[in-house]
Structure 1
Amino acid sequence: MDLLDRRKILEECCSKHRTPLWQFQFPDRNTKELKTSIFCPTCIQEDIALHEEEKLQAALNQQAYVTTYDVLMRDSIVPTELKGVSFENFKADTAEEKQMLEFAKNQVEKYKQGMTGNTLITGQTGIGKSHLSFSMAKAINEHFKEIGKPKRVLFVSLTEIIKRIKNGWNYGKGASLTEFEAVKQLTSVDFLILDDLGAKNATIAPKSDWEQDFLFDILNNRETTIINTNLNSQEIKTIYNARNASRIFKGLEGNSFKAFSIPDKRYSINKLKQGEQTP
Structure 2
Amino acid sequence: MTSKIENQTSNDLFSTVVFETDVCECGNPYNAAYLQKFRDYKARGFLAYRCEVCQKKVNEEEWRKKVAEEENAIALENCRKFFFEESILDKKLKLATFDNYHPRNDEQKKGKEIAIRYVNSFDHDNPRGLLLFGNYGTGKSHLSVSIAKKIVDKRNFVVFLPVPDYLANLKATYGNNSDTELRIINKIARVPLLILDDIGRVDPSGWVEEKLFQIINRRIGMHTIYTSNFGPSELPHRIGGRNFSRMMEDVHPLRITGDDHRLKHFK
TM-score computed with the length of structure 1 as normaliser: 0.67
CA contact (8 A) 1:125 1:230 kept: yes
**Which amino acid is the alignment partner of residue 208 of structure 2?**
E
Does residue 44 in structure 1 map to residue 50 in structure 2? yes
CA contact (8 A) 1:137 1:153 kept: yes
1:193 counterpart SS class = strand
Supply the distance in 2 between the matched residues of 1:113 and 1:224 (Cα, whole angstroms).
8
In the TM superposition, structure 1's runs of 4+ consecutive aligned residues that sit over 6 Å from their partners are 48-52
CA contact (8 A) 1:219 1:244 kept: yes
Supply the distance in 2 between the matched residues of 1:166 and 1:76 (Cα, whole angstroms).
17
Does residue 212 in structure 1 map to residue 209 in structure 2? yes
TM-score computed with the length of structure 2 as normaliser: 0.70
Q: Work out which of the residue numbers 248, 259, 265 in structure 2 matches 1:263.
A: 259
CA contact (8 A) 1:183 1:214 kept: no
What whole-Å deviation, never above 9, does each CA across 1:65-91 have from its counterpart, x for those lacking one? 576453212211111111111111111
Residue 43 of structure 1: CA displacement? 5.5
CA contact (8 A) 2:212 2:239 kept: no
Q: Work out which of the residue numbers 108, 115, 121 in structure 2 matches 1:104.
A: 115
Supply the distance in 2 between the matched residues of 1:232 and 1:151 (Cα, whole angstroms).
29
Q: RMSD across aligned C-alpha pairs, in angstroms?
A: 3.2
Aligned residues: 217
Greater C-alpha radius of gyration: 1
By percentage of residues, which structure has more helix?
1
Question: 5+ unaligned residues in a row in structure 1: which ranges?
Answer: 5-40, 145-149, 273-279
Sort the Cα spacing of 1:106 and 1:217 in 2 relative to 1 into closer, same or farther, 3 A: same
Does residue 164 in structure 1 map to residue 169 in structure 2? yes
Sort the Cα spacing of 1:113 and 1:48 in 2 relative to 1 into closer, same or farther, 3 A: closer
CA contact (8 A) 2:173 2:181 kept: no
- Shifted more, 208-217 versus 121-130: the winner is 208-217
Supply the distance in 2 between the matched residues of 1:106 and 1:62 (Cα, whole angstroms).
25
Residue 133 of structure 1: CA displacement? 0.5
Sort the Cα spacing of 1:165 and 1:113 in 2 relative to 1 into closer, same or farther, 3 A: closer
**Which amino acid is the alignment partner of residue 162 of structure 1?**
L
Supply the distance in 2 between the matched residues of 1:72 and 1:232 (Cα, whole angstroms).
28
CA contact (8 A) 1:85 1:135 kept: yes
CA contact (8 A) 1:198 1:229 kept: yes
Partner of 1:178: 180
Partner of 1:117: 128
**Which amino acid is the alignment partner of residue 44 of structure 1?**
R
CA contact (8 A) 1:112 1:140 kept: no
Q: How does 1:12-23 map to 2 (within 5 A)?
A: none
2:227 counterpart SS class = strand
**Which amino acid is the alignment partner of residue 152 of structure 1?**
F
What whole-Å deviation, never above 9, does each CA across 1:3-35 have from its counterpart, x for those lacking one? x9xxxxxxxxxxxxxxxxxxxxxxxxxxxxxxx
**Which amino acid is the alignment partner of residue 256 of structure 1?**
P
